[in-house]
């Protein structure tokens, strides 16, 4: 979603950083931001980031480095 679109539930949002680059947010159904990506110079790269997460996250392991 972009900032012009509205919605609820879990969702990816594409937004513009202060430096003019684009980033991805993953927002929970309660509105809280769960994850924010690095910034990308193009919107298409940010969209690729969201698509990659959707595709690869189900198989990704959880690594607990906490002591």
Q: CATH number of the domain that 20 lies in? A: 3.30.160.160
Q: How many domains does the chain have?
A: 1
Nearest partner of 35 among 13, 51, 5, judged by Cα = 13
Around Cβ 14, how many Cβ atoms within 10 Å?
Answer: 19
Residue 58 DSSP SS3? helix
Residue 26 has phi, psi (to 5 degrees) of -110, 120
d(CA 32, CA 54): 19
- Point out which residues pair with 16 in neighbouring strands: 22
Residue 62 lies in a domain: no
pLDDT tens-digit map of 48-66: 999 999 999 999 999 999 8
- Point out which residues pair with 12 in neighbouring strands: 26
Examine the pLDDT at 19 and tell me if it is beyond 90.
yes
Residue 49 lies in a domain: yes
Report the pLDDT value the prediction gives residue 4, as an integer from 0 to 100.
65
């Amino acid at each position: 979603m972009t900032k012009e679109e509205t919605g609820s539930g879990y969702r990816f949002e594409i937004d513009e950083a202060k430096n003019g680059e684009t980033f991805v947010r993953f927002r929970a159904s309660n509105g809280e931001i769960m994850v924010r990506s690095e910034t990308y110079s193009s919107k298409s790269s940010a969209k690729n980031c969201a698509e990659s997460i959707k595709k690869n996250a189900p198989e990704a392991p959880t690594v607990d480095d906490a002591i």
